[in-house]
Chain A
Amino acid sequence: MVRTKSRLGFIFACTILVSTVLSGCGSSSDEKIDSASKGGATVTLKMIESLTSPERTETLKKMLAVFEQQNPGIKVELISPPLQNADTKIATMLSAKEDLDVLEVRDITAKQFVTNKFIEDLKPYTSKWDDYKTLNDSAKMSAEYIDNTPYYIPYGLYQKVLFYRKDWFDEKGMTPPATWQEVYEKGKALTDPAKNRYGYAYRGGAGGDNYTLMITQAFNADQINPDDSMFLKDGKTIFSTPEAKQAMDLFTKIYNEASPKDSLNWAFSETVESFVSGVTAMLINDPDVIAVTKEKMKEGTWATAPIPLGPTGKAPRFVGAAGWGMTSYSTHKEEAWKLISFLSNPEQNLVFSKAVGLIPIHTTAAEDEFFKKGAYQPFIEMNNKPDAYFMMRDATDYQGYGESKKIAVEDNQALILKQRSTEDVLKNWDTYWTTQKANQKK
Chain B
Amino acid sequence: MKNTAKIKKPLSGQSKFIFFCLLPAIVLVGMFTFYPFFRGIGMAFQKYTLFDLTDIHFIGLENFRTIFAQPQFLQALSNSFYWVFISLICQFVIGFILALLLKKPFKGRGIYQGFVFYSWAMSGFLIGIIWRWMLNGQIGVMNDLLLKVGLIEERIGFLSDPKWSLASVIVANIWYGIAFFAIMLLAALQSIPDDLYESAGIDGANWLHKLFYVTIPYIMPTIIASTLLRVIWIFNFPDIIYAMTNGGPAGSTHILATYMMDKIMFGGDYGQAAAAGVIMIILLAMYTIFYLTATKSGKGADF
Contacts and interface: CB of A to CB of B under 8 A. Distances in A.
B50 interface: yes
A13 B21 contact: yes
Contact of B262 (A14, A111, A112, A406): A406
A279 interface: yes
Nearest to B160: A264
Contacts of A16: 24
A10 B138 CA distance: 67
Interface in B192-240: none
B157 A264 contact: yes
A10 B266 contact: no
Contacts of A116: 50, 52-54
B152 interface: no
A274 interface: yes
Given A91-B50, A274-B139, A410-B250, A261 B266 contact: no
A279 B143 CA distance: 14
A115 to B, nearest CB: 5
A405 B266 CA distance: 8
Contacts of A134: none
Contacts of A198: 138
Interface string A32-51: 00000000000000000000
Nearest to A280: B138
A141 interface: no
Tell me which of B158, B160, B161, B264 has the highest count of chain A C-beta atoms within 10 A of its own C-beta.
B160
Nearest to B262: A406
A9 B51 CA distance: 46
A2 interface: yes
A291 to B, nearest CB: 21
A304 B295 CA distance: 65
Interface string A167-210: 00000000000000000000000000100101000001110000
Interface string A113-140: 0011100000000000000000000000
B181 to A, nearest CB: 29
Nearest to B249: A413
A85 interface: yes
Interface stretch (A143-151, A222-230, A244-252, A265-273): A265-273
B42 interface: no
Contacts of B264: 88
A17 B24 CA distance: 5
Contact of B265 (A88, A193, A264): A88
Interface in A13-38: 13-14, 16-17, 20-21
A252 to B, nearest CB: 14
A413 B139 CA distance: 21
Contacts of A406: 262, 266-267
A240 interface: no
Interface of B: 13, 16-17, 20-21, 23-24, 27-28, 31, 49-54, 72, 125, 136-139, 154-155, 157-162, 165, 242, 245-246, 248-251, 262, 264-269
Interface of A: 2, 5-6, 9-10, 12-14, 16-17, 20-21, 84-85, 88, 91-92, 95, 111-112, 115-117, 193, 196, 198, 204-206, 260-267, 270, 273-274, 277, 279, 399-400, 402-403, 405-406, 409-411, 413-414, 417, 419
Given A9-B16, A116-B53, A264-B249, 4 more contacts: A2-B16, A262-B138, A265-B165, A279-B139
Q: Which 4 A-B pairs have the closest CB atoms?
A: A262-B137, A9-B20, A264-B160, A413-B250
